[in-house]
Amino acid sequence: MPLKERIPHLHEVRSWQGSIQLEGVYTAGVAGERWLRGLQEGRIYGTRCPRCRYTYVPARLFCERCLGHLGEAAWVEVGPHGTLMAWTWVHVDPDGRPLSPPRLMGLVRLDGADALLVHDLQDGGIPLRVGLRVEAVFRPPAERVGSIRDLAYFRPVP
């Protein structure tokens, strides 16, 4: 909706109540799409910077540390095992509504990666601790759609 009149001074800006319906499509981008396709195949990929050797999960197209280009040769498979670095119980959803039951979330460093991945965690009755070895559990192949939810959760390694 364009302005119908010119407002020469910002202190004269007016406001009004109303709503505007917006529609949008979020795309994962080139690296994100390839990373999600890997999850659909039951694999976790990262990208390793050839300059500083930092490995990102999810994969990136450039290194945020040294700004190096992460091309085709930078793609590496990581995990599916990793180390639990932290965990928490989440009691509210992204919109602030109470979750019942609360969700257990873990911060995991996958083997072969430097970056940490936050995802659902199931404790399997094992007491959690920093340094606990965990493994990725994927949904059955027929249920995978190329989403982060294809990685169902992490669980302690038996």
Question: pTM score, two decimals?
Answer: 0.80
Under the phi-then-psi rule, with left for phi > 0, alpha for psi from -120 to 50, and beta for the rest, what region is 124? left
Edge-to-edge strands of the sheet including 55-56? 55-56, 44-48, 75-78
pLDDT at 148: 95
Q: Do residues 45 and 18 make contact, with C-beta atoms less than 8 angstroms apart?
A: no
**Would you kindly state where each structural domain of the chain is located, as residue ranges?**
25-156
- In whole angstroms, what is the distance from residue 113 CA to residue 79 CA? 8
* Structure confidence at residue 76 (pLDDT): 98
Do 146 and 122 touch, CB atoms closer than 8 A? Answer: no
What is the chain's pLDDT, residue by residue, as a tens digit (158 residues)? Answer: 565 666 666 565 566 677 777 777 778 889 999 999 999 999 999 999 999 999 999 999 999 999 999 999 999 999 999 999 999 999 999 888 999 999 999 999 999 999 999 999 999 889 999 999 999 999 999 999 999 999 999 999 98
